[in-house]
Amino acid sequence: METSLLGLFLDNYEDFRRRLRRRLRSDDLVDDVLQETYLRVERLDPNVERATHPTGYLFRMALNMAADHHRSSSRLLTGEEIDELVHGADDQLDPPAVLASRQDLAALCEALEMLTRRQREILIAARVDEQPQAAIAARHGISVRMVGKELKKALETCATKVGRKSVQRFGPGAGDPS
């Protein structure tokens, strides 16, 4: 009688748990890996050609899940790194830099108030929300070209108010001060 991979996985679940715990040294990680492996095995097509050594195949699948989990978690910040960003950033700034930043922020707020409502909405959608100009155009009922013009005006107004040069990042003349 041929057993399904899912049945084989469930029959060997405790053995996989023990072997993974020895390698990974974390019960939480072992639980996560086994859960992800279960979900993957459950989604496998039963008509796919069977592995020669199905228990080895399932254990290797679990190890691959652990490696994927490790790779993805290594891209995340640790608790210490988050604390440093939250609490350490203010200690490292000198008072003149803080003052200059606050002045820039106040000037930017004034510049945003000087913009028309549509220019402000387009600027925020394009630069803060990173929406494509075509989506912005559709939402405002205007052409993509008009979105570009309004965005350029808004950027120039903000740059002037903050005392910086506005550099065009797209279209003809990209990289040149406007």
Is the model more confident about 24 or about 89?
24
What span, in angstroms and rounded, lies between the C-alpha atoms of 136 and 155? 16
How far CA 161 is from CA of 32, 103, 104, 149, in Å, comes to 52, 11, 9, 18
Q: Where are the alpha helices (DSSP H) in 75-172?
A: 79-83, 89-92, 95-114, 117-123, 133-140, 144-162
The percentage of the chain sitting over the pLDDT mark of 70, rounded to a whole number, equals 75
Among residues 97, 100, 108, 88, the alpha carbon closest in space to that of 157 is found at 108
Whether pLDDT at 35 is above 50 = yes
Give the model confidence (pLDDT) of 103-120 as tens digits: 888 888 888 899 999 999
What span, in angstroms and rounded, lies between the C-alpha atoms of 5 and 38? 10
Give the model confidence (pLDDT) of 84-102 as tens digits: 666 655 555 677 877 888 8
Task: Of 39-48, 88-97, 147-156, give the lowest mean pLDDT range.
Answer: 88-97
Is the CA virtual torsion 141, 144, 150, 151 positive or negative? positive
* Stated pTM of the model: 0.43
The phi and psi torsions of 81 (rounded to 5 degrees) equal -65, -40
Whether pLDDT at 162 is above 70 = yes
The per-residue DSSP string of 20-77 comes to: HHHHH--HHHHHHHHHHHHHHHHHS-TTSPPPSSHHHHHHHHHHHHHHHHHHHHHTSP
The percentage of the chain sitting over the pLDDT mark of 90, rounded to a whole number, equals 29
The residues facing 177 across adjacent strands are 167
Residue 131 DSSP code: -
**136: CB partners within 8 A, 6+ apart:** 122, 125, 126, 147
CB atoms closer than 10 angstroms to residue 6: 15
Q: Please give the pLDDT value at position 178.
A: 43
**153: CB partners within 8 A, 6+ apart:** 115, 119
58: region left, alpha or beta (phi > 0 left; psi from -120 to 50 alpha): alpha
Give the model confidence (pLDDT) of 60-69 as tens digits: 999 998 888 7
